[in-house]
């Protein structure tokens, strides 16, 4: 037992060693810091407009400010937090380790992606500092073109640049999964986390260029007066919506698929069972990735889109529910007869299953053309996508962060506080967003801060929930930070999980594996003794 083992964190302490690192684990942590900053920023915006929404009138701010706050919330949360969250942090950290590799295929490209993302993020930040954007995160024309009176170009440029970071990460993942699997690690022995990231990377590579081109077209129209989206110049504003949603609907799956990968890992570990229907769950990720590209027109039922196109998109949207349902049913089937332990990551995973199911099923309401017309652009839509994005993706992100925290930092967080916080967040989340389903159904439109008095009770409930949610997040920040300094040292495999990442020390050495591992077992084979063997590793 040595006093201090060398690992990726203590191998070098200089700032330069971080800024010029090509170690996927360090880059993952740099991404973590960056996206948490944007999460905080988007969260502050949300708190501010939720307080404003407690009263039916305009109390704290003017409409102009309100518009800029909800746009800031949307842009930062989607493009600078949710899209990179799991892939760039947990994916970056874990994917090479799960494959038995020493790093990603292109380590320098990986570092470049962080710089590109940060530059994009800074431009986005600049757009906020210089006055903000008032178009909503969707940048619909003509708000973003003919009638733009805010920092549209700066924000769009930031998103354009951050998109390239996504492409770099996606490309890196695909090549790494194809080329760098350990001996014996066949495609159907891969952890479902890897399958989910493979599917996500495909969407990123096929979809992201389209949003980049679309943003470029907006810029070309404004600068050179070429008619693309502006009817006065011979363009069509609805074309923007087609191009925007061609990327942005699949982007929902970019955000949720990695979360589903995390959930598969957690469910298997805390049920001590192989994921029920492993192959089908793996394939359902690819099915979601592909079908996700066929459904974008369901955002446009009340635009001037043809009714016939609407019918096609409505039917296709129902199809994408099938692979999502396969996952939910198979996770539930995995739980059946499992020896379930309700540790912190598992609480988040169970929360995910319930909340994602509500989010997904209300998506079917919205894909139904007649119902869509009733609830279009109401709080019903807001509640729906927050159930998927926050109830689904953010829950999965925090579940994964807790699950792999001992691996990443070598420290344990307080399990008791972890469980309490998971419950607080679950309650806060539902209190925030469930009333929004009701008030939306009753007719409260999104993106307005002045509303009829009969809706006030729902907004008060929602704001109260947001406060509970904020307490949960702050509590989590506090005990995770505390664990970094005073947390109990973690062993190699604190959860007794199966997977290559649990065979190496916590925190891992820079090169991950001293000897290339050979995989002669299936994923999640919890019948293996290695899951229960005593951990003789040094607690260095």
Contacting residues toward another protein, per CB under 8 A: 178-179, 202, 206, 210, 238-239, 242-243, 246, 293-294, 296-297, 300, 304-309, 312-313
Q: Is 489 helix (H, G, I), strand (E, B) or coil?
A: strand
The answer to whether the CB of 172 falls within 8 A of the CB of 110 is yes
Residue 244 or 403: which CB sits closer to another protein?
244
Q: For the chain, what is the radius of gyration of the CA atoms?
A: 23
State the minimum distance, in angstroms, from the CB of residue 210 to another protein. Answer: 7
Q: Return the number of the residue (9 or 290) whose C-beta is nearest another protein.
A: 290
Q: Which is nearer to another protein, 297 or 360 (CB)?
A: 297
Q: How far is the CB of 283 from another protein (least distance, A)?
A: 17
CB of 316 to another protein, least distance (A): 9
Smallest distance from another protein to CB 305, Å = 5
Q: Which is nearer to another protein, 226 or 325 (CB)?
A: 226
Nearer of residues 11 and 309 to another protein, judged by Cβ: 309
Residue 36: CB atoms within 10 Å = 16
Residue from 386, 187, 355, 173 nearest 263 by CA: 355
Query: Distance between CA atoms of 8 and 292, rounded to whole angstroms?
Result: 38
**Shortest Cβ distance from residue 23 to another protein (Å)?**
20
Q: Which residue has the tokens 């159907």?
A: 188
Q: What are phi and psi of 507, to 5 degrees?
A: -70, 155
Total residues belonging to the chain: 540
Q: Which is nearer to another protein, 60 or 206 (CB)?
A: 206
C-beta of 307: minimal distance to another protein in Å? 6
CB of 128 to another protein, least distance (A): 31
Q: How far apart are CA 141 and CA 230, in angstroms?
A: 8
- With tokens 């210089």, the residue in question is 130
Residue 133 or 202 with smaller CB distance to another protein: 202
Please say which residue, 224 or 308, places its beta carbon nearer to another protein: 308
For 13-37, give the secondary structure using H, E and C.
Answer: CCHHHHHCCCCHHHHHHHHHHHHHH
Cα–Cα distance measured from residue 130 to residue 153, given in angstroms and rounded to the nearest whole number: 12
Residue whose C-alpha is closest to residue 341's, from 279, 411, 267: 267
Three-class SS of residue 343? coil
Could you tell me if 262 and 397 are in contact, meaning their C-beta atoms sit under 8 angstroms apart? yes
* Closer to another protein by Cβ: residue 70 or 293: 293
418-455 per-residue burial string, b: 16 or more CB within 10 A, e: under 16: bbbbbebbbebbbbbbbbbbbbbbeebebeebebeeeb
Nearest to 539 by CA among 487, 481, 480: 487
Residue 347 has which token pair?
């609480």
- Comparing CB distances to another protein, the nearer of 96 and 297 is 297
Q: How far is the CB of 105 from another protein (least distance, A)?
A: 11
Give the separation between CA 447 and CA 492, rounded to whole angstroms: 48
- Rounded CA-CA distance 258/274 in Å is 19
The DSSP code for 100 is: T
Q: Which two tokens stand for residue 375?
A: 């609830």
Hey, what are 98's tokens?
Answer: 């799960």
Least Cβ distance, residue 137 to another protein (angstroms) = 21
Output the smallest distance, CB 34 to another protein, in A: 29
């Amino acid at each position: 037992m040595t006093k201090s083992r060398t690992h990726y964190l203590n191998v070098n302490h200089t700032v330069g060693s971080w800024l010029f690192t090509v170690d996927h684990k360090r880059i993952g942590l740099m991404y973590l810091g960056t996206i948490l900053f944007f999460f905080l920023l988007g969260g502050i915006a949300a708190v501010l407009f939720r307080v404003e929404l407690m009263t039916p009138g305009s109390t704290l701010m003017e409409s102009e400010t309100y518009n800029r706050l909800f746009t800031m919330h949307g842009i930062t949360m989607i493009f600078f937090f949710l899209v990179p969250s799991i892939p760039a942090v947990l994916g970056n950290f874990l994917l090479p380790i799960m494959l038995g590799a020493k790093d990603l295929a292109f380590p320098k490209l990986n570092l470049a992606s962080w710089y590109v993302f940060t530059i994009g993020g800074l431009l986005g930040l600049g757009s906020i500092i210089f006055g903000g954007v008032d178009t909503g995160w969707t940048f619909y024309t003509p708000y973003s073109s003919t009638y733009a009176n805010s920092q549209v170009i700066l924000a769009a440029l930031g998103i354009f640049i951050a998109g390239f970071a996504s492409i770099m990460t996606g490309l890196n993942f695909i090549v790494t999964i194809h080329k760098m699997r350990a001996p014996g690690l066949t495609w159907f022995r891969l952890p479902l986390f890897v399958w989910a990231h493979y599917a996500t990377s495909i969407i990123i590579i096929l979809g992201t260029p389209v949003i980049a081109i679309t943003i470029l077209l907006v810029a070309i129209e404004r600068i050179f007066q070429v008619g693309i989206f502006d009817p006065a110049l011979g363009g069509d504003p609805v074309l923007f919506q087609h191009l925007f949603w061609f990327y942005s609907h699949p982007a929902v799956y970019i955000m949720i698929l990695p979360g589903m990968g995390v959930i598969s890992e957690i469910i298997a570990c805390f049920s001590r069972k192989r994921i029920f229907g492993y192959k089908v769950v793996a394939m359902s990720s690819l099915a979601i990735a592909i079908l996700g590209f066929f459904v974008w027109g369901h955002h446009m039922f009340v635009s001037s889109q043809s009714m016939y196109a609407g019918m096609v998109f409505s039917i296709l949207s129902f199809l994408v529910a099938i692979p999502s349902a396969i996952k939910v049913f198979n996770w539930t089937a995995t739980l059946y007869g499992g020896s379930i332990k309700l540790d912190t990551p598992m609480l988040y995973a169970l929360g995910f299953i319930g909340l994602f199911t509500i989010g997904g099923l209300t998506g079917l309401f919205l894909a139904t053309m007649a119902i869509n017309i009733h609830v279009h652009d109401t709080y019903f839509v807001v509640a729906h996508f927050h159930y998927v994005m926050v109830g689904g993706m953010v829950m999965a992100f925090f579940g994964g962060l807790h699950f792999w925290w001992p691996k990443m930092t070598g420290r344990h967080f307080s399990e008791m506080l972890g469980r309490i916080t998971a419950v607080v967040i679950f309650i806060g989340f539902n209190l925030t967003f469930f009333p929004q389903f009701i008030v939306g159904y009753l007719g409260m439109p999104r993106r307005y801060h002045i509303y009829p008095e009969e809706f006030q009770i729902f907004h008060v409930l929602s704001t109260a929930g947001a406060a509970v949610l904020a307490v949960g997040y702050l509590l989590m920040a506090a005990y995770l930070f505390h664990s970094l300094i005073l947390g109990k040292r973690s062993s190699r495999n604190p959860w007794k999980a199966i997977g290559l990442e649990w065979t190496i020390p916590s925190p891992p050495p820079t090169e991950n594996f001293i000897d290339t591992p050979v995989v002669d077992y299936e994923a999640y084979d919890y019948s293996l003794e290695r899951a229960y063997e005593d951990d003789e590793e040094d607690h260095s």
